[in-house]
Chains A and B, each alone.
Chain A
Amino acid sequence: MAKELVAFRNLETHFKTSAGTVKAVNDVSFSIREGETLCVVGESGCGKSVTAMSLMQLIESPPGKIVGGEIFFEGKDLLKLSKKDMSRLRGKEIAMIFQEPMSSLNPVFTIGKQITEPLLYHLNMTQKEAKARAIELITMVGIPRPEKIFHSYPHELSGGMRQRIMIAIALSCDPKLLIADEPTTALDVTIQAQILDLMRDIKTKRNTAIMMITHDLGVVAEMADFVVVMYAGKVIEEASVLELFREPRHPYTQGLLKAKPVINQRKERLYSIPGQVPNPVDLGENCHFHDRCEFCMEICKTKAPPLRAHIDGHKTACWLYEEEGKAQ
């Protein structure tokens, strides 16, 4: 098995709001291995983006704060690094692309300026070297006429092209980890297929580890090697992609898989998970899914289930698979 690249250990990121504390990331632990694509799935507000932002240390403070836990990157605890060391790492070793390619590029600078910026900052290239490298990168992400694009402004490009440019910027310093936060959600399906193809290509050619955040189980099935499912700030299940789709164990994961309409598999009626995601403010120490769960037991309402491996490498946080739960 490949070496561990990133490890989250009991990460806690909280936000202070006027209504109370929101534990956006609540005791999250998982790891990403070198060259692996790990998908974090969950619905809005489950903490998947905050987990990634904590890794990058881009949590706005206040209101947010990493209050506990450790994040290891190649054995170093990132939370103990100085600001300067962290900014050397950010963009060079760990790069990130976002959901909105419209708002993540600066509209007043040319594409060329934005691609060369990390090259000049991190790799100390000369302007000339940086330009040559930028043209190479633009070609690599599949955009024709790189010379012309180099001098264009973001508004002159389509959404798909902008996302390609974001990928080019992210890859400019050959990072070991690429974080992609819903990279295709704002794009049309045919463009999504192109971008996913490009990301797969990057992974095989450069052996870059990818942490991909998505809510689309179809994208997970296509891209992931390993999957982490989050709900209300906690990891509730993790497994390899084949294992997870073959035998989802947590009732929430099972529900998600059943609720998605799948092409050419028309059902008479879609399964739907009743209710809605709980209010994230001041959640108690119980299973946060209990009020939507059809298998809810007494213990689920009072005690949070531990995340434990019951089958090799397949971890689930659910009382159904615990001795204490079975006793009921």
Chain B
Amino acid sequence: MSESAVPLEKSYVGGTGEPLIQVEDLKKYFPITGGVFQRRVGDVKAVDGVSFTINKGESFGLVGESGCGKSTIGRTLLRLNDKTDGKVYFEGKDMHKMSKSDLRKIRTKMQIVFQDPFSSLNPRIKVGEAIGEALLDHGLVSRKDVKERVIETMKICGLADYHYDRFPHEFSGGQRQRIGIARALIMNPEFIVADEPVSALDVSIQAQIINLLSDLQSEKQLTYLFISHDLSVVEHLCNRVGVMYLGTMMEMAPTDELFSNPLHPYTKALMSAIPVPDPTLKRERIVLQGDIPSPANPPSGCKFHTRCPMASDICKQQIPEYRNVGNEHFVACHFA
């Protein structure tokens, strides 16, 4: 990959401009049961009315703190969870209305890479077999040819052919994440959900995996939903970023726009909270007070008002409108 080609692509908002994934007012509530009869006593509103579009060839980042619903969105997009309300379209087809057999067919086009490469691999299955399993399961190659395909994919992901017969415990964290990526990639997917793929890795390994993901994207025109709590990783890898808080999208913009001109106080606080490796830098830091409120009982009005340094009366009463302020920059704040 030539070095100069990258920023051009990245600043090009919207990939090919053709939507691959459309999410409309998606809601996912998890019931809380209680009492002797385990009746439903409330809901954890993990995702509470989120809409966005991911275009072909784009990488869309979702950031937020733990419990903000970013992973639930990833799982609901792939229909690993059922939704509560709203719609998810993949290439114009409603994912949640599909029959089981249609779903099975379309699943080959979408894959997921998980955060924890330790628990997402079966310790008793050889790595090569784990990578090839889905191909056989979907009947895409014959048993005879599968090994060849697996080894080819392993090489693309930076693994060697002699790794085929090894077991997961023989690999380091970074290598296991490569196995996870190989397993997703072998299906030749169009869309990959990467759920915190580098969070469990050391810095020097993290950089290797980020570079691998971005090489694969430009070679295979992949579309990513990249879920992370780390804004600096998202800035590096994504074209467009959405910032979530307690199940709601607070701000969404093309990466360069978001990082040069953050409008929501939560986005600003998140950015200023990241420690910068430069001891000479003296920054004004916005330290948010308190903890994230429970998603079972979110605050009224703007969900962020309990921790917001700018909060006033209107924030407690009215839910701010999620609106476009120009340059494809969306924000939900009364003061933005």
- List residues of A whose CB falls within 8 A of some B CB: 43-44, 158, 160-161, 188-194, 196-197, 215-222, 224, 241-242, 245-246, 255-257, 259-264, 266-274, 276-277
- B230–chain A nearest beta-carbon distance, Å: 8
Query: Which one of B7, B174, B269, B285 lies within 8 Å of A268 (CB-CB)?
Result: B7
Known contacts A189-B229, A189-B270, A269-B6, A221 near B287 by CB under 8 Å:
no
Query: Is the CB–CB distance between B202 and A44 below 8 Å?
Result: yes
* Size of interface on B: residues with Cβ below 8 Å to A: 48
- Report chain B residues within 8 Å CB of A277: 172, 202
Task: Report which of A43, A216, A218, A224 forms a contact with B204, defined as CB distance below 8 A.
Answer: A43
A261 touches B233 (CB 8 A): yes
Contact A268 to B3, CB < 8 A, known contacts A189-B229, A261-B210: yes
Contacts of A221 in B (CB 8 A): 275-279, 281
A325 to B292, CA, bound (A): 54
Q: Is the CB of A270 within 8 A of B204?
A: no
Besides A220-B277, A245-B280, A268-B7, 20 other CB < 8 A contacts?
A44-B173, A158-B291, A189-B65, A189-B231, A189-B273, A193-B273, A197-B287, A219-B275, A221-B275, A246-B280, A256-B204, A260-B203, A261-B207, A262-B232, A263-B231, A263-B274, A266-B255, A269-B3, A274-B208, A276-B172
Chain A CB within 8 A of B236 CB: yes
The smallest beta-carbon distance between A162 and chain B, in angstroms, is 11
**Cross-chain contact A255 with B204 (CB below 8 angstroms):** yes
Total number of residue pairs linking A and B with CB closer than 8 Å? 134
- Chain B interface mostly: helix
> Which residue in chain B gives the minimum CB-CB distance to A41?
B203
- Specify which of A216, A242, A276 is in contact with B280 (CB 8 Å cutoff): A242
Q: A188-B65, A255-B204, A272-B207 are in contact. Are A241 and B279 (CB under 8 A)?
A: yes
CB of A260 within 8 A of CB of B277, answer yes
Q: A58 CA to B127 CA in the complex, in Å?
A: 37
Contact with A along B256-275 (1 / 0, CB 8 A): 00010000000001111111
Of B208, B233, B277, B289, the most chain A CB neighbours within 10 A belong to B277
Minimum C-beta distance from B12 to chain A (A): 14
Question: 6 shortest A-B CB distances, which residue pairs?
Answer: A218-B275, A272-B207, A43-B202, A188-B65, A259-B207, A273-B204
- Nearest residue (CB) in A for B233 is A261
Q: Could you list which residues of chain B lie within 8 angstroms of chain A, going by C-beta atoms?
A: 3-4, 6-7, 65-66, 172-175, 202-208, 210-211, 214, 229-233, 235-236, 255, 259, 269-281, 285, 287-289, 291-292
Identify the closest chain A residue to B256 (Cβ): A266
- Chain B proximity of A142: nearest CB distance (Å): 9
- B287: A residues at CB distance < 8 A: 190, 193-194, 197
In the assembled complex, 16 residue pairs joining A and B whose CB atoms fall closer than 8 Å, in A order, are: A160-B291, A189-B65, A189-B230, A189-B231, A190-B288, A192-B275, A222-B279, A245-B277, A246-B280, A261-B230, A263-B232, A263-B259, A270-B211, A270-B236, A274-B208, A277-B202
Q: How distant is the Cα of A218 from the Cα of B175 in the complex, in angstroms? A: 25
Min C-beta distance of B29 to chain A, whole Å: 22
CB <8 Å contact, A262 and B276? yes
Q: CA–CA, A170 to B208, complex, Å?
A: 38
Interface centre among A188, A241, A255 (most CB of B within 10 A): A188
Q: Which B residues touch A273, using CB under 8 A?
A: 204, 207-208
- Cα distance, A264 to B267, chains bound together (Å): 14
CB closest residue in chain A, given B215: A269
Of residues A242, A261, A277, which shows the largest number of chain B Cβ atoms within 10 Å of its Cβ?
A: A261
Q: Look across to chain B and name the residue whose beta carbon is closest to the beta carbon of A44.
A: B202
**Chain B contacts of A188 at CB under 8 A?**
65-66, 229, 292
Give Cα distance in the complex from A328 to B296, angstroms: 66
B273 touches A190 (CB 8 A): yes
Are A245 and B279 in touch, CB under 8 angstroms? yes
